Structure 1
Amino acid sequence: MTSSPRWFSRYQDGQRAEVWQEMRQLGSAVRESAWAGEAQLVCDEMARRARHNIEVIVERLSTAGYRFHDNNDEQTAVQPHYPPTAGAPELATWLEERFGAVPMTLLSWVRIVGDVWLVGTHPEWPASAAADPLVIGVEGSRYPDFSLRDYFDEEWTAWQGDPVGTFLLPLAPDRFHKDNVSGGGPYGVVLPDGCVDGLFHAEMTMPFVSYLNWVFGDGGFPWPSGDDRQWAVRRDLNKGLLRL
């Protein structure tokens, strides 16, 4: 690697896959390297691009008559995107203090993107909730009477009492629960992890940014729902979305 990797300018120029690969190869050492600031700039730009994609998808779904709702029988209407609150930077600090190390991409998401909930029903695609719509909840803005921070803390404490495997910070229900049927465990990020980009565990485990690119590549609905109408909806949703 050269003495100056120029990650941020190269990322902006379109060399995104190469930049992520180089940063991931450094592992947690990237935080102590001379290029930690460059890595942070890339992660923040990734988050800004992700927020743009979410805002575009929400606008397109709303225009199409999509009903954003809870994953329950009542299907209570919900707000699909909560931008970060003034407390988001403090939450990012708390996450690192509590879990030891948190991937830089997730910290950028907390500070720049916020919480997203795309579960709902499309008028031209009734099975849309079965297509694993994007959900990422870290700040917990959807739950004013419930503390996600307390929930994370309880999960961490329980895991430390019986530390089998790795700890998963739960960020979303699985694709079955999103469709209001019995399913498995939640999706989330493996912690602790001091790397630039952590592992996101969903139907398969992959880097968080790779997961997001997969989801946005299908307009926010990456899983086949068994409905032939889904391809047309996805085609309209993913037009012009940004690669992260």
Structure 2
Amino acid sequence: MMSRSEHLFSNQEALIEALSQSILANLQKAIDEKGKASLLVSGGSTPKPLFEKLRKALFDWDKVTVGLCDERWVDTSQEESNEHFVKKYLLQEEAAKAHFIGMYCKDTDIYMAQKVCTQKMKEILSPFDVLILGMGTDAHTASLFPENIKLEEAFDLKNENFCITIEPTTAPYTRMSLTLHAILSAKHIYLHFEGKEKIAVYEEAIGGEDIYTMPIRSVLNQEIKEIEVFYR
């Protein structure tokens, strides 16, 4: 099994400093190698301090294209939109120079948009250089929720679609999510979470095998890519 690099911190400031420096170093490697880099990020409350740190970095942000790991299918003007969140907290200050490719397609049915999103991801963002995942207390990651009817398709590594529509039964809004195939295609994958409750979820996840009850296991317990886990 591929190793997980675990980085446990006692305080948020130290975690954010170390994680942001690691992310920037890997983005810089990509820029040095090919003149550009792609960064895929997640929503939720956890990444906000990370975004506020990254956006201040003196960096070649104009050579970085930012995308999403998942999106709620709501207009991007709404607070619930991950695109709205990323533009508000990450794509500011120095990072305002970065390019952004969203998932949401206005006036497009989400099931039709699945193909459009996959095409955009492959043509503009792929290969993914850095991808940052979060984890819910229910062990979901991106918008891959436990026991969802679409998980078998989402976990199928032979499924070449990068995006999949998800109707969560335990959370609001229809979603667009990266598939496991897309996530594991990234060169550098980070998992970032904070809090005792999530630490307990993480410890349960790495100790078991059922990926349908705990979708984060599909990323943590696989043999394809190393995952760097930053947590406190």
Query: If the length of structure 2 is used for normalisation, what is the TM-score?
Result: 0.29
Q: Which has the higher contact order (CA 8 A, sep 6+)?
A: 2
User: Which has the larger strand fraction?
Assistant: 2
Larger Rg: 1
Query: If the length of structure 1 is used for normalisation, what is the TM-score?
Result: 0.28
User: Which has the larger helix fraction?
Assistant: 1
